[in-house]
Amino acid sequence: MAYTVRRPNLTFWEKLYLPNIVAGLAITFNHLKKMLKGETHVVMQYPEEKWDAHLPEYYRGAPTLVTDEHGRERCVSCQLCEFICPPRAIKITPGSLPSDSQFAKVEKAPEAFDIDMSRCIYCGLCEEVCPEQAIYLRKDYAVTGESRADMVHHKDKLYELGGTMPGLVHKWNPDK
């Protein structure tokens, strides 16, 4: 059943919209006056000034891979981050370690690890699901590229951006 909603009758001044325009201009001129007096800082000079100091602790930025303190990969190619990623931005090609390696007990290592940053929604699910704490969200909001190909971060770039993260890595634990 449809309901008819009657519109209120507007007065002559309401039809002209002049009071609303004048009120908006008054707000704009008040901001201009405060800015000229130096009471407020409206503009940020972007490349020189960034929000890094003002980012909250819970800020979720771009995902990246980290190594342990010995420079070894933390990722075990379990592909949980790939499966949990809602926009399917992560692609992992699992590889195996050589059988003569001292870490042969580890079944897999990533052969290729790609994150398409143009598809990433910065949800943080990849970081939460990682059993080895190999993927972290860095506090970076300026992820740019000149083409779509530049927005795909490959394994080398992800490790370069991520750096090292100390702590126990189950992959390299001899007691496991």
> Which residue in 139, 165, 166, 170 sits closest to 66, CA to CA?
165
pLDDT digits (tens, 9 = 90+) for 17-33: 888 899 999 999 998 99
pLDDT band at 85 (very low <50, low <70, confident <90, very high): very high
Name the E strands within the chain. 63-65, 90-95, 109-116, 135-137, 152-153
Q: Provide CATH code, domain 53-168.
A: 3.30.70.3270
What's residue 105's pLDDT? 66
What predicted TM-score, i.e. pTM, was given to this entire model? 0.69
Q: Please write down the HEC assignment for all residues of 40-72.
A: CCCCCCCCCCCCHHHCCCCCCCCEEECECCCCC
Closest CA to 66 of 129, 120, 135: 135
Q: Which one, of 150, 157, 139, 114, lies nearest residue 62 by Cα? A: 139
pLDDT class of 125 with cuts at 50, 70, 90: very high
- What pLDDT is recorded for position 22? 93
Q: What is the DSSP letter of 73?
A: B
pLDDT at position 147 is: 94
> How would you classify the pairing of strands 63-65 and 152-153?
unpaired
Query: What does the domain layout of the chain look like in residue ranges?
Result: 10-43, 53-168
What pLDDT shows up at residue 158? 94
Q: Which of 161, 166, 70 is nearest to 113 (CA)?
A: 161
pLDDT in tens, 29-81: 998 999 889 888 767 787 788 877 778 888 888 999 998 888 888 888 889 99
Most distant pair of Cα atoms in the chain: their distance:
89
Question: Please, which pLDDT band fits residue 128 given cuts at 50, 70 and 90?
Answer: very high
Please give the radius of gyration of the chain, using alpha carbons only, rounded to the nearest integer: 26
pLDDT of residue 104: 66
